[in-house]
Structure 1
């Protein structure tokens, strides 16, 4: 009880996160991350998958559906900052929660660097000389200092925006997200109706099919088109009525994003040779839009502007996610408390925002110094962090179904098999298998990720062991927590009074059953 009292006292001393994200705001947080990803992934995936690019997106999309259903259930049941790391800690324990958090920290910082880089790439649609600029810096060849400078400037802008507060940054997502939905839909509809040539699509499918290694590499890159559901979970602690909002948001995202991700490569291969799209990894969708009949002269520049903005708010989502993740990990005793500090005026975790923006800036510098394919370098790391975190999160779904069957679940993953008192979700099991295989694929096909990814996680594990030992916390064990008391507090804060009453009745029933 002393540990619980201390935890409550500490919580009371912290300034909390504001709960003001609406249904549309929650949707656009996720759409900003996932809907924008096709702008980046299209050229990278097509360079590897060639005529089989739609197949690569489809395989990645099947895994995404399984993961998406798992996240929908857990985010609605546990609407707190932390997302996959919190689910993993609660289901599998502190150590695995740290590993999941480390993977997501990598993912979010790379998200910031990658999408700020991509936003600058679409801006450079209007300035080809900037896109092609390269110089030599000592031992480094083909360095584009102009593009790097643009990227660092955008990262700084996003850090300042997020320090001001989530209401302002969410408003940016909402406006630009609506415009981009219209733009993406228009490109697909006009492309299929007036420019798509089925014979070109079939020819490329039949004659330009990649090797197995190339296809698997492409699938692992295509995964970055489906990562935004984590952002919805990260914003859960700031979402109004999450039990209602999050299932609607997540299920809508699963459907819409899957349709867009499959439509873009399909329409592209019926309009242009795959080499044309692959050669423009910085602005592939703008290149596609410029080839539309009659409206191409206007659609290309318009797509470039909207792509630059929607990709920028995806980077903005990364800043938000990294800072909220650090807040959650600090609150749960996995890392030092410095990053959990919330500014008394802005009600945002200023220190973590600045820290992770700095990490993202360092990653951007590394990517540009590594060679002319800076986007691909970042995409390699992005895939590793996403798949490791998703693997642990789907494992957590099964563990939480067993450990906490009494917690109210406003949404439940469908297709369940009963085993004793536990209901096993078949999509959850398939999600574990799919994400586990994807981790192996990433390690097999990505030279950078197989080295840098495990090193990143290992550094955080060493820090975790040092921090826990220094503060007298168990390194391999778990801190004492009253999850039931915390769940009641969560439901009270969210205003989910019906769920709170159901939870209290279930706890009383369990106490009577155990007492009898």
Structure 2
């Protein structure tokens, strides 16, 4: 069987991971976070970064133990049990299936602010139709185009921060270094954690590099380092950008919370910059949604091929296009929920699945190293027990900090997964089919 050649270095893998996270999303969700935290967005990102670093360490430990594709699904299946692994995979499916919906909803919110005469649902439908058509035909963006899109995002972010600093320079009463964006007069931990639960949406994808295992040099060492660095670098970007934006626009009052950065861009840079910002954000959201839908449809196809989902529906490729058309159309159908949800609820709903998977990965470290591997000693106590426990507690706290509707929808999704697992395993009497993620994600 042919194998991929290991050519990727640590830097290449880190760049892939940061690109997958779509850094410009920090601006796309700024208003939602400002409202949730009462104008303390950087504090929410700091809390999210600390929580995600503990989880990233656990992902790194499991990637070193099992250098295979499948991420949370494979780690939990191998370290704890196949049935709990299925639940981890079900949680991951929630991310992949609903992520395009949230991405397109954010893009539509900003286009709606720029063109108020066009109803926002029209933009949502346009995103769904265009990206679905491209994915069905099978057109893939070249690496050079992806690199160009990344460059555009970073240029927009850099320009946004530079204009924020220039804007602040015109007001001698506002210092460049202040704790105000973190405290806004007082420290409200429940509000900050509520914001952190949403802010973690920006970190989704830090574990995606585990799918590059076969293509990475010395993956047992490189992939764990990359996962940690991607989380750290991404967190620093989110923290730095949100700090200066919050300084430039203190508080949480906006004409439209879902497209707050559009309003801020106009204040700090005028009409010309707001146009450039809008182009950068919408292009970034379009490319991200295209990739997310492609990944989600491939995951559904893999689940159908391996008979985890009905093979007659999901396990089929189009004879004409060579793409999983049924799976792509299902992703498009699910995305229609964006017509009834707002950005805050949609991102929180997706985070429910992420936090559940993150929790199980932290648990997997304890099972694999501390319980089954019987790792002992002071270092093992900290690395294989205390750190994953802290990650587990942080992830569970973040779940409880999500808005009530998101928790309710997430609980329904989890219950459906348990019912489906019971049917798939004949009342839990046999093991569920094993998925082959090598070509799924």
**TM-score, scaled to structure 1:** 0.71
Q: Which residue of 2 aligns with 1:114?
A: 102
Matched, 1:467 2:420: no
Q: Which moved more, 1:309-318 or 1:337-346?
A: 337-346
Find 1:226's aligned residue among 203, 211, 217. Answer: 203
Q: Is the 8 A contact 1:40 1:281 kept in 2?
A: no
Q: Is the 8 A contact 1:336 1:467 kept in 2?
A: no
Q: Is the 8 A contact 2:17 2:230 kept in 1?
A: no
Find 2:361's aligned residue among 393, 402, 410. Answer: 393
Q: Give a deviation string over 1:9-33, Cα, whole Å, max 9, x none.
A: xxx9xxx999999675873465343
Give runs of aligned pairs for residues 294-305 of structure 1, distance below 5 A. 295-305=269-279
Q: Which runs of 5+ in 2 are unaligned?
A: none
Q: Which residue of 2 aligns with 1:312?
A: 286
SS in 2 for 1:418: helix
Q: Give a deviation string over 1:162-204, Cα, whole Å, max 9, x none.
A: 3455853766533211211222123224423552632896567
Residue 240 of structure 1: how far off its partner (Å): 5.8
Residue 398 of structure 1: how far off its partner (Å): 3.0
Q: Which moved more, 1:350-359 or 1:216-225?
A: 350-359
Q: Which moved more, 1:148-157 or 1:314-323?
A: 314-323
Q: Which residue of 2 aligns with 1:291?
A: 267
Q: Which residue of 2 aligns with 1:151?
A: 124
Q: Which residue of 2 aligns with 1:335?
A: 309
Find 1:101's aligned residue among 89, 99, 103. Answer: 89
Residue 209 of structure 1: how far off its partner (Å): 4.3
Q: Is the 8 A contact 2:48 2:196 kept in 1?
A: yes
Q: Which residue of 2 aligns with 1:418?
A: 380
Q: Is the 8 A contact 1:52 1:209 kept in 2?
A: no
CA 101–476 in structure 1, closer or farther in 2 if over 3 Å, else same? farther
Q: Which moved more, 1:99-108 or 1:281-290?
A: 281-290
RMSD, aligned α-carbons: 3.9
SS in 2 for 1:424: helix
Q: How many residues matched?
A: 429
Matched, 1:359 2:325: no
Distance 1:89 1:211 in 2: 39
Find 1:375's aligned residue among 333, 340, 343. Answer: 343
Q: Is the 8 A contact 1:32 1:311 kept in 2?
A: no
Q: Which runs of 5+ in 1 are unaligned?
A: 1-11, 131-145, 368-373, 406-414, 494-516
Q: Give a deviation string over 1:421-458, Cα, whole Å, max 9, x none.
A: x972653332122112222333xxx1212221111121
Q: Which residue of 2 aligns with 1:57?
A: 45
Distance 1:480 1:462 in 2: 15
Q: Is the 8 A contact 1:49 1:215 kept in 2?
A: yes
CA 205–456 in structure 1, closer or farther in 2 if over 3 Å, else same? closer
Distance 1:166 1:75 in 2: 31
